Structures are given as C-alpha cells and as structure tokens.
Amino acid sequence: MLKGKTVVLGISGGIAVYKVVELLRLLTKAGAEVHVIMTRSAQEFVTPLTFQTLSGNPVHTDLFNLHQEQEIGHISLADRADLFLLAPATANLIGKIAQGLADDLLTTSIMATKAPVLVAPAMNTNMYENPIYQRNEKILAESGYHLLEPASGELACGWEGKGKLPEPGQILAAAESVLVPKDLLGCRLLVTAGPTREELDPVRYLSNYSSGKMGYAIAAAARQRGCTVTLVSGPTNLAAPVGVNCIRVSSAAEMRDAVLQRLEEVEVVVKAAAVADYRPVQRAQQKMKKTGDELVIELERNPDILAELGERKEGRILIGFAAETERLIAHAAEKLKKKNLDMIVANDVSREGAGFDVDTNIVRFLHADGRMEEFDLMSKKQVAHQLLNRVAVLYKP
C-alpha cells in the first residue's frame, strides 16, 4: 500500500523521537518516498542528519529558510503528500492543530494539506489524561484526523501508564490501513488460521506446521479494507490483528463449533487453517506410559468443516486453501468442486518460500468457473490482498 506513495513524516519533540528512526526505516522499506519535517524541539532529541540519511531527502525544519523553501516549499510538501504522519505527536502539537495555529513549518503544512493525517500521540500519562488534551484530541478526531491510541507501560519520565508511542510496526500498519481502499466496507468475513491440535493425552498431541501467518494476514488485510472480521484461530504464537475479533480454539471439533456458531453472521468464509483430518479415537486421561516396542494409535475422521459449509452455502462466498505436495492443480480442483467453493488457493508446500511457517507464499487461484490464475512468490500480505480483490468482485452488498 505504501509503495510509490509520498509520506510526509512530521516529528515533534519528545523522547519517543528515537523510535521514529525505526519507523522511517520501515516506511522506506515498504517503498514510500518520505519527506521529514522536524520541529525545533524534535531536533534536540535526534539530529536531522539521521532522518536525512535514512530518507534520502533533505529534512525540513524552518518555515523561513530560503534555501529549503526554494528546494521544496512547504505548500508543495503539503500538496504532494499521500499521507501526513505525525509521530510522535506531542500534547503541544495536538493543541496547536486543534486551535488552528500555524506558527511553524510543521503546523503550517498540516493546515495546508488535503492528505489524510495520521496522528501517533506520545506524552506523559497525566498530560494524556488532562481534560484539555482530551478535548483537543476529540477536535482532531471530529475533523477527520486518524488518531492512534498510545500504548501503556513504563514511560521515559518514570511514570507508569498510557502515553507511550505505539511500536513502529503498529504505526506502519495503521499508515497502510489509512491508505488502503475501503472497498469491502460492511462486509462480514470469517477466516480460520493456524493448525489444530488433536490430543493423545494431557502432554501430547497430533498437529502440523501451520504458523497461522497466512490466515492472520488475511484477517489484517480484510480489516484494513473495511470488513468486520472474525478470526477463528488454532494455537499460534501470533498476536491478533488490531480490530479483529479473535476466537482461539485448539481441536478441529472446537474450530467447527466456533465457525458454525458464527456462520449466520457472515457473508464470506476463508478457510486458511490446516485442520487435522483425523483425531485419536481415545484421549488418555493420564500421561501414556511406555508399554512395549510398538504403540498403535487408532484414529477417526474429524469433521470436514469446509465441506459442511459447502453443503449449506446459502449465498455465502466460500474460499478454501489446498496445501499439496504433489499434483497441485488436480487435487485443488477436486477440493474446489467437492466442497462447493467459489475459489480455492492452491499452494505447493514443498516449494521453497511457500506454505507453512514462512512469510511468503506461491499460489494459484482456481475459480468455480474453471479459470486459473498463477502468481509468482509474494508476501502473505500480498496474497491476502490478491485474494480480497477476488472477494471484492464476488461480494454483493
């Protein structure tokens, strides 16, 4: 979303300026062209040279600097921005914007811009809770500014509480979110992710290598595009994406219950989870002991959740995944038909960079009408957006 976009990064003076160095690195890594404006006090914390070196562009500091104005004037900066990002935004900066003051380069440029403005506040807890500050924040929100909530924890001033600048990765995700087209606004989507665990006894289980990355990427991207998202997740180490309703389950049976309970509430189901096809017939109540050289475990079939959804489709958009190690297209096409799907995402999990526990995937989309689309290696985030582009075509509000 940030590739080729111009981001004006406004930095005001607080200790959290050091975190913005990493934020700038993430923005440029994501392909954004970044122009930095620093207030006088921001320059007391980190020098403009750091931001100039990392952005590859001159840093703007002064409204009345003839040289800077000649190179790229403040109105031009305001005009060319696709996104104005304020991090950290101090109580003073937010107060000035709320009151319509434009007495330096940063506040003047903010007032002049027509781009969306994303504000990442950071300050002492007492300042944050001050009713005057809260009123100012409300003025910004009502004026269409996008406000991030500060994080809680130990602050640089020694206080404990709300007021920390959110982590750079979270600010980046919020920036992408502001820029993503909201083409799925109002759409209710359920996505499953991760593995299931089928317990043998209190300390052992059958499972697979799914990390949940694919399903979580879909949940995050769908949320960015305006969906109301329910994420039914097997056991993973991932934090739920912001704004997503995450339901944690363990076994295939629990996943089935969680999905079916919410089925009536959604128009789209994407099943990225790697569900165990079999489970032990019996789960031992106590830890199983060694009894001989061989152990035979009897397994029984788990319910096929997606096949069940296909039988009671009721106009819903159903998208499945097929993880294969051979005859990718034939197996995926068979599942597409058998489970009554609109589309299936086929990934050959034996290929490097595809499938389980990596940040990328190599996929083909097989459609119910017989079309097939083939893609090169993409990040799972890109796969998610490609998948959602197809949902946007099928979805009829």
Catalytic residues: 157
- Measuring CA to CA, which residue among 105, 95, 96 is closest to residue 10? 105
Could you say whether residue 108 binds ligand PMT (CB under 6 A)?
Answer: no
**What is the C-alpha to C-alpha distance for residues 102 and 163, in angstroms, rounded to an integer?**
25
Give, as ranges, the residues between 188 and 207 that touch ligand PMT (CB under 6 A).
194
User: At 214, which helix (H) or strand (E)?
Assistant: helix 213-224
Per-residue contact string for residues 340-369; x = within reach of ligand PMT by CB under 6 A: -------x-x-----xxx------------
Rounded to 5°, the CA angle 205-245-354 comes to 55
- Select the residue interacting with ligand PMT from 61, 113, 210, 251 (CB under 6 A): 210
Distance of CA 181 to the CA centre of its chain: 14
Identify any residues that bridge with 241 across adjacent strands, giving them in sequence order.
none
Could you say whether residue 234 binds ligand PMT (CB under 6 A)?
Answer: no
DSSP state of 40: T
Shortest CB 256 distance to ligand PMT, Å:
8
- Select the residue interacting with ligand PMT from 269, 305, 318, 387 (CB under 6 A): 305
Query: Does residue 152 contact residue 165 with C-beta atoms inside 8 Å?
Result: no
Could you say whether residue 213 binds ligand PMT (CB under 6 A)?
Answer: yes
Stretch that binds ligand PMT, among 20-28, 42-50, 179-187, 321-329 (CB under 6 A): 321-329
**Cβ contacts of residue 104 below 8 Å, gap of 6+?**
39, 40, 63
**What is the C-alpha to C-alpha distance for residues 179 and 298, in angstroms, rounded to an integer?**
52
Could you say whether residue 211 binds ligand PMT (CB under 6 A)?
Answer: yes
DSSP state of 195: B
Could you say whether residue 277 binds ligand PMT (CB under 6 A)?
Answer: yes
Number of residues that bind ligand PMT (CB under 6 A): 27
**What is the C-alpha to C-alpha distance for residues 254 and 243, in angstroms, rounded to an integer?**
23
- Select the residue interacting with ligand PMT from 81, 320, 348, 362 (CB under 6 A): 320
Shortest CB 188 distance to ligand PMT, Å:
19
Stretch that binds ligand PMT, among 3-11, 109-117, 269-277, 289-297 (CB under 6 A): 269-277
- Measuring CA to CA, which residue among 304, 238, 237, 229 is closest to residue 270? 229
Could you say whether residue 155 binds ligand PMT (CB under 6 A)?
Answer: no
**What is the C-alpha to C-alpha distance for residues 4 and 165, in angstroms, rounded to an integer?**
26
Shortest CB 394 distance to ligand PMT, Å:
17
Whether the ω angle into residue 88 lies within 30 degrees of 0, i.e. cis, is yes
Could you say whether residue 381 binds ligand PMT (CB under 6 A)?
Answer: no
- Select the residue interacting with ligand PMT from 302, 328, 381, 385 (CB under 6 A): 302
Shortest CB 340 distance to ligand PMT, Å:
12
Which residue's CB is nearer to ligand PMT, number 205 or number 321?
Answer: 321
- Select the residue interacting with ligand PMT from 335, 365, 384, 388 (CB under 6 A): 335
Which residue's CB is nearer to ligand PMT, number 168 or number 320?
Answer: 320
Helices 48-55 & 17-29 angle (0-180, nearest 10): 10
**What is the C-alpha to C-alpha distance for residues 221 and 199, in angstroms, rounded to an integer?**
32
User: Which residues of the chain form contacts with ligand PMT (CB under 6 A)?
Assistant: 194, 210-214, 252, 271-275, 277, 302, 304-306, 320-323, 335, 347, 349, 355-357
